[in-house]
Amino acid sequence: MEICHTEHSHIIGKAGNNIKNVMRATGCHIHFPDTNKGTVTGTDKSNQVHIVICDVINVILLFAFSFIRVLHFIQLFISEPFRAVL
């Protein structure tokens, strides 16, 4: 999958905690390119992120929960629009 190399460190998180939590929750293995580490000069940065799905059921459940959260947020936003402004 392509993710802009400038976003990799934000996704990985401090000490890799963000990406470790995602891998633990989904059962996937996620690998960011080694060429992006540090300040290596003369090499192009890569946007390629490799994801290996090990547990399809966990991925499906995580997607379903994420979708439900988005729907819940949209419902709250529509049911009480601009309340903070008034």
- What distances in angstroms separate CA 69 from CA 38, 66, 72, 73, one per listed residue? 36, 5, 5, 6
Query: Would you say 17 and 25 are in contact if contact means Cβ atoms under 8 Å apart?
Result: no
Neighbours of 32 (CB within 10 A): 20
Work out the average pLDDT over 48-64.
Answer: 82
The tokens describing 26, both together, are 């989904």
pTM: 0.58
Q: Give the residue, 17 or 43, on which the prediction is more confident.
A: 17
Residue type at 53 in one-letter notation:
I
Query: Would you say 46 and 36 are in contact if contact means Cβ atoms under 8 Å apart?
Result: yes
Work out the average pLDDT over 6-33.
Answer: 88
Assess whether pLDDT exceeds 60 at residue 80: no
